[in-house]
Amino acid sequence: MRIRGRRYRTIWLAADGWSVKVIDQTRLPHAFVVRRLTSLGDAAEAIRTMVVRGAPLIGATAAYGLCLGAREDASDRSLDVGRETLLAARPTAINLRWALDKLRGVARGVPVEERVGVLYAAAAEICDADVRACEAIGRHGVELIRAAKVGKRGRGPVNILTHCNAGWLATVDWGTALAPVYAAHDKGIDLHVWVDETRPRNQGANLTAWELAQHGVPYTVIPDNAGGHLMQRGEVDLCITGTDRTLISGDVCNKIGTYLKALAAKDTGVPFYVALPHSSVDWEETTGSAVPIEERPEREVTHVEGRAPDGSTVVVRVTPEGSPVANHAFDITPARLVTGLLTDRGLCDASPAGLFRLFPERRAGKGDPSPPARMAESRVPGGGG
Ligand code: MRU
């Protein structure tokens, strides 16, 4: 990603070689602030308070969090306690557990005094692998967008609707749902993105809009309830969202409101794709109701934050004093509503057969499909397993 002419990732090691720098996403879009994390507690707090967010970036931050903890104490007991602390920071994104289990596995069998170096190397590889995976999602996804463009026979840009933020801010770089958008835009394919504002945290209005603008991609922010209307009018050619956890059944857990967009897409015949790296697949769970759905503070619903004309940040109440509130952060979109899963190994059906076709090593319940990933051929449009 390029911000004001400078290349960034969302997470990197500071010049001291051990502390960790992240972009403070709670300050965007109005201020670009970099935060330094120096302890496992800092990393857990950054995840919990959504200084960093988005499933792959949560995983990467947790990995470095465990490294920071290991600098203090790299014993088995300390690593186990650190893992539990980081796991408790946010419950839904599977990448958190995936990254921690990977690091915990790497440390096993390594003498305690050698563990810090080994863990840092593994955390760096998690970040590099995420970038490679997201680039691959972009390469595969371009073909979907190109096919949509051909299908339009020159009638205007390809209109893509996305929900929440699944761009480079949600990953280490490139993004999941937005990786194909950036790749297609860079190849000169005429496109435009409908950006769901994504109440209550406004990840669409704040983050997706900001990063699309940084990259020069045409976009329009819409209220969360507008997507169905636009689909009925033929103004959406395809939907692409990210996911915090996709079950082996093909059911997709993502930001609250994703399900409603998928329902509208099904009703109007708009293809609905979900983009994900392999680290977002839950290879064990088949039942959506078993996924822990994070419930966040009432204040995110009762209040909104924005920028006042004098440049200060203001927070104002939007509900009557004392209103009861529910704030479920994620929902489950059943596989039957998903046209295809756009993975780092290509496109597949949202089904066990589809996922196992691309990741056969997981059928035996073993092996991690980490890059260098075998690149399966993309199939467009409409998935296929
Ligand atoms: O609550 P958030 O902002 O962490 O939720 C993020 C999302 O729902 C994204 O769509 C998801 O993590 C996929 S990101 C690549």
Residue 86's alpha-carbon distances to 97, 119, 203, in angstroms, are 9, 15, 22
Which atom from ligand 1 is nearest to the alpha carbon of 58?
A: 4
* Residue 305 CA to ligand 1 centre (angstroms): 19
- List phi, psi (to 5°) of 65: -60, -40
Pocket residues: Cβ below 6 A from ligand 1: 53-56, 93, 164, 166, 170-171, 176, 203, 242-244, 254-255, 329
pLDDT per residue as tens digits for the range 213-247: 999 999 999 999 999 999 999 999 999 999 999 99
Ligand 1 centroid to Cα of residue 291, in Å, is: 15
pLDDT of residue 143: 96
Contact 154, 146 (CB under 8 A): no
Poorest-confidence range of 47-56, 251-260, 360-369?
Answer: 360-369
Per residue in 156-176, pLDDT (tens digit) is: 999 999 999 999 999 999 999
Residue nearest to atom 6 of ligand 1 (CA): 54
Active-site residue, 128 included: no
Taking the centre of ligand 1 as the mean of its atom positions, its distance from the CA of residue 126, in whole angstroms, is 18
Q: In this predicted model, what pLDDT tens digit does every residue of 63-119 receive, in sequence order? A: 999 999 999 999 999 999 999 999 999 999 999 999 999 999 999 989 999 999 999
**pLDDT score, position 81:** 97
Q: What is the mean pLDDT of residues 362-373?
A: 61
Give residue-wise pLDDT tens across range 307-349. Answer: 999 999 999 999 999 999 999 999 999 999 999 999 999 999 9
Separation of alpha carbons 91 and 95, rounded Å: 10
Which of 244, 327, 331 has most ligand 1 atoms within 8 Å of its beta carbon, as the pocket-test mutant? Answer: 244
Identity of residue 179: A
- Whole-angstrom Cα distance, residue 224 to residue 200? 10
What pLDDT is stored for residue 365 in this prediction?
65
What pTM was computed for the model?
Answer: 0.94
- Helical axes 55-72 vs 76-87, angle rounded to 10°: 150
| Residue nearest (by alpha carbon) to ligand 1 atom 8 | 255
Q: What is the mean pLDDT of residues 170-197?
A: 98
Determine which one of 130, 196, 224, 244 is catalytic. 244
Residue 241 Cα: closest atom of ligand 1:
10
| pLDDT band of 374, cuts 50, 70, 90 | very low
Q: Could you tell me the pLDDT band of residue 375, with boundaries at 50, 70 and 90?
A: very low
CA distances from 214 to 5, 168, 190, 192 (A): 9, 11, 17, 14
- Copy the structure tokens of residue 272: 């609905």
Kindly give the number of the ligand 1 atom that is closest to the alpha carbon of 203.
3
Report the mean per-residue pLDDT for the chain: 94
Instruction: Let me know: does 57 contact 23? Beta carbons within 8 Å.
Output: no
Give the span between the Cα atoms of 235 and 328, in whole angstroms: 29
What DSSP character marks residue 92? Answer: S
Whether pLDDT at 376 is above 50: no
How far is Cα 175 from Cα 368, in angstroms, rounded to an integer? 21
pLDDT of res. 382 = 30
Q: Is the pLDDT of residue 266 over 80?
A: yes
DSSP class of 295:
B
CA of 295 to the centre of ligand 1 (A): 14
Atom of ligand 1 nearest to the CA of 176: 15
- For residues 257, 263, 264, 267, the Cα torsion angle rounded to the nearest 10 degrees is 180
Radius of gyration (C-alpha) of the chain in whole angstroms: 20
Mean pLDDT of 242-268: 98
Expressed in angstroms and rounded, the spacing between residue 163 Cα and the centre of ligand 1 is 9
pLDDT score of 182: 98
